[in-house]
Amino acid sequence: MTLFLTLYFFILGTILGSFYNVVGLRLPKGDLFKESRSHCPNCHHTLQWYELVPIVSFLLQKGRCRNCKKKISSVYPIMEALSGMTFALSFYLFGFQVELVLALLLMSLFHMIVVADFAYMVIPDRLLLFFLPLFIVYRVIDPLDPWWASLIGGAVGLFLTAAIILLSKGGMGGGDMKLFGLIGFVLGWKLLLVTYFLSTLIGAMVSWGLLAAGVIERKKPIPFGPFIVLGASFAFFSGRIIIDWYLQTFF
Ligand SMILES: [Zn+2]
């Protein structure tokens, strides 16, 4: 039964993931509701339902548009697969506990941030403003211990990032600041600091690697949002894994 449900959450994640890809790409351009049907960006051929099956369509069509044979970015199926995996992991770790809602909300927000930040170097305000009230309601129903850890986390996230922006002159942007504030509110100040540590570490290592490999140039900025998202996901899930391990070992 657990296996069946985990598979169910994987498939749910890939379907929502393909929707989040569209939102992440359209929201920064402001045309989220202008065109209702998905189409090929090259030949404008309207996609049929069998061309929109997450991951499967991409594989069957060997990564090309059925109509014009133009290559489709492999970012789409990769993000769909990641979304499926994080949804499955969320269910595997939390089952039908209330934290499952939090995990799915976070993974949904993070997915759209990664897509938007990679494509346009922005974390859309409207995305954060859409999720903020949902997280506030969640933290009223299932507060941190103590409950004001949310407020401290939110404040630390905003002000610490603002200080970093002032001192570093361009390492991070206003979108990163708001995202850290939101993560601080949701996860509390302790996991926020873990997120800081992990995201700057991973960001520095990846940037160094890309520079060394000649993929990017020194002056060219790279989006930091995906590293924040990665750090926060590690902090969020590993916190749970460590608690599980502790309970199973000592109780
Ligand atoms: Zn096409």
Asked whether residue 79 falls in the same domain as residue 152, the answer is no
Asked whether residue 156 falls in the same domain as residue 115, the answer is no
Could you give the 3-state DSSP secondary structure of residue 174? Answer: helix
- With a cut of 80, say whether residue 133 has pLDDT above it: yes
> Is residue 152 situated within a structural domain?
yes
Across the chain, mean pLDDT equals 90
Higher pLDDT, 5 or 241: 5
Q: What is the mean pLDDT of residues 1-28?
A: 93
Q: What is the mean pLDDT of residues 193-213?
A: 90
| pLDDT at residue number 33 | 66
Q: How far is CA 119 from CA 78, 112, 187, 195, 223, in A?
A: 15, 11, 27, 23, 9
Higher pLDDT, 40 or 240: 40
CA–CA distance, 138 with 250 (Å, rounded to integer): 30
Asked whether residue 187 falls in the same domain as residue 80, the answer is no
| pLDDT at residue number 36 | 64
Phi, psi of 181, rounded to the nearest 5 degrees: -60, -45
**How many independent structural domains does the chain possess?**
2
Q: Which of 37-46, 100-109, 182-191 has the lowest mean pLDDT?
A: 37-46
pLDDT above 70 as % of the chain: 95
Q: Assign residue 234 a region (left: φ > 0; alpha: ψ between -120 and 50; beta: otherwise).
A: alpha
Contact 20, 97 (CB under 8 A): no
Range of the domain at 42: 1-120
| pLDDT at residue number 108 | 97
Q: Give the model's confidence band at 207: pLDDT under 50 very low, under 70 low, under 90 confident, else very high.
A: confident
Segment 31-57, tens digit of pLDDT = 666 666 788 888 988 888 899 899 999
> Is residue 212 situated within a structural domain?
yes
- With a cut of 80, say whether residue 191 has pLDDT above it: yes
Q: From ligand 1's centre to the CA of 50, what distance in Å?
A: 15
Q: From ligand 1's centre to the CA of 68, what distance in Å?
A: 4
> Is residue 30 situated within a structural domain?
yes
Asked whether residue 94 falls in the same domain as residue 174, the answer is no
| pLDDT at residue number 35 | 62
Q: Nearest to residue 24, comparing CAs of 136, 89, 160, 117? A: 117
Asked whether residue 104 falls in the same domain as residue 202, the answer is no
Q: From ligand 1's centre to the CA of 69, what distance in Å?
A: 6
Q: From ligand 1's centre to the CA of 44, what distance in Å?
A: 6
